[in-house]
Structure 1
Amino acid sequence: MRVLILGGTAEARALAAVLDPRPDVHVVSSLAGRVSNPRLPVGEVHEGGFGGPDGLAAWIHGNAIDALVDATHPFAARMSASAAEVARRTGVPLLVLRRPGWTEEPGDSWHRVASLNAAADLLPSLGRRVFLTTGRRSLPVFAALDGLWFLARSVDPPEPPIPGNVRILLARGPYTVEGERALIEDHRLDVLVTKDSGGSMTTAKLVAARELGLPVVMVDRPAPPGGVRLVTTPDAVVEWLGGLAADRRHDG
């Protein structure tokens, strides 16, 4: 069975590590190239994207792909929509692998919003020195807010020019609670803005915000495409692939 993983996440790498040694599976992991020097999964890797749904459909056909796993970032809505469209068009089975979102705990002060623009609208009522962890492409949404200062953390630098009220911090998780607490205290930050990405690599900032009493503006993740099955663990993907293989043997 030839499996294409649309990846770039820790879950995608874990899935590739499980599947690659198996003699009955050939796995290809696709990375869109949004991050320089990404963490590479084991096995065959396709880098650089496909050029939209048409390109993805052509690549799947040309490479005789039997199953498609969308294990992209929870906020990669365009890629997920393309995967769903291509699955409908080609008939290749699709499964979405998404880690669960974060859950508010006692002591948290979260303000959930539906979009980055809604987060920007809310911010002036919550603080003046902002810890911004929503990615380098989100910076223009916030940088024009008068009277606010931002510490914006991202893996890669944003495109210049950088507004004067923004300091860029380049870093890659996982992070520690002690480190996040020190970062907040050293920069006198009084509000955190983040996306509900889920996972354990960046939860330390939420713990630190809770301990220090910071409000958190939490941008909700987009809903997955309609009509697709969603699972939360690589083991569930392996089980799904086993069912597909059994169906193929039965049909054969």
Structure 2
Amino acid sequence: MHVLILGGTTEARRLAAQLAARHPAPRVTSSLAGRVAAPRMPAGEVRVGGFGGPEALARWIEEHAVGAVVDATHPFAEGISAGAARAAAATGVPLVALRRPGWEAGPGDRWHPADSLEGAAALLPGIAGPGGRVFLTTGRQKLAAFADPRLDQLHFLVRSVEPPEPPLPRHAHILLDRGPYSVEGETALLREHRIDVLVTKDSGGTATAAKLTAARALELPVVVVRRPTPPPGVGVVPDVADALAWLAALPLPPRRFAPEFPARPPF
């Protein structure tokens, strides 16, 4: 079977590595969006860059005899997930979404949920107050929501792996860094920059969860953007073990033979 894995997440790399280590190993292709200059490369075959839409992805699936697709993209990669669902439906190829569980508030947490980045931005003046200092950890894309003139009195510490895309908040200090992070390091960072409120997406996992523990210890409010739901009809598994079990339960795809040609006419 040829397995196509969408995404550059930790779970995507772990799944590719475990599939590549099997004997016999299936053919595995990992597709990376190409938005990070130096991505951590997974085992097996790798392609970088978008497919050009659901129709192009469907053609690629057909042309490369893909037998199963695992959408292991970031929980907030809505466009890619929607396109994968459409391509899988068009080709009849099985699709599952690999989504690590989201974070849950615990005792002492001061969480403020929001349904979008725009919703998170709207909450900030009332939480941070005039001249407040905001630690923004929602990634480098779609930061226009925080470039709203109504937030010009706030000061933002923006952390991302790559330089963020404009427009940016009026008062923004950019911190380029990549997890995993430690609780000690996050606590020191929050204190050094005198942060008043943390803004994050509900990405789940452990690589960036230390900031939540640090915010709890410092009794800081946290604005948490809820993750979108997967496309309708797409099954979800929470970890690599369940993704492997899902793949193992699939029937082997039928053999694909070369097209038959008419017999040669007699001379």
TM tier relative to shorter chain = over 0.9
**RMSD of aligned Cα (Å):** 1.5
Is the contact made by 2:163 and 2:176 (CA closer than 8 Å) also made in structure 1?
Answer: yes
Cα shift readout 1:90-129 (whole Å, capped 9, x = no counterpart): 0000011000000101000000110000101000111110
Is the contact made by 1:143 and 1:166 (CA closer than 8 Å) also made in structure 2?
Answer: no
Partner of 1:199: 205
Partner of 1:142: 146
Query: What letter matches 1:75 in structure 2?
Result: F
More deviation, 136-145/154-163: 154-163
TM-superposed CA distance for 1:138, in Å, is 2.9
SS at match of 1:244: coil
SS at match of 2:164: coil
Cα distance in 1 for partners of 2:37, 2:110 equals 34
Cα shift readout 1:219-251 (whole Å, capped 9, x = no counterpart): 0001100111100111111111111146869xx
Structure showing greater radius of gyration is 2
- Percent of aligned pairs sharing the same letter: 61
Aligned residues: 249
Is the contact made by 1:150 and 1:167 (CA closer than 8 Å) also made in structure 2?
Answer: yes
Cα shift readout 1:57-103 (whole Å, capped 9, x = no counterpart): 11111100000110000000000000110111000000110000001
Is the contact made by 1:143 and 1:165 (CA closer than 8 Å) also made in structure 2?
Answer: no
Name stretches of at least 5 consecutive residues in structure 2 with no aligned partner: 256-267
Cα distance in 1 for partners of 2:126, 2:161 equals 28
Is the contact made by 1:96 and 1:229 (CA closer than 8 Å) also made in structure 2?
Answer: yes
Residue 16, structure 1, aligned to residue 16, structure 2: yes
SS at match of 2:250: helix
Is the contact made by 2:144 and 2:166 (CA closer than 8 Å) also made in structure 1?
Answer: no
Higher helix share: 1
Name stretches of at least 5 consecutive residues in structure 1 with no aligned partner: none
Partner of 1:119: 120
Partner of 2:216: 210
Partner of 1:109: 110
Change (3 A) 1:62 1:246: closer
Is the contact made by 1:134 and 1:194 (CA closer than 8 Å) also made in structure 2?
Answer: yes
Change (3 A) 1:47 1:112: same
Residue 158, structure 1, aligned to residue 159, structure 2: no
What are the equivalent positions in structure 2 for 1:10-89 lying under 5 Å apart? 10-22=10-22, 23-89=24-90
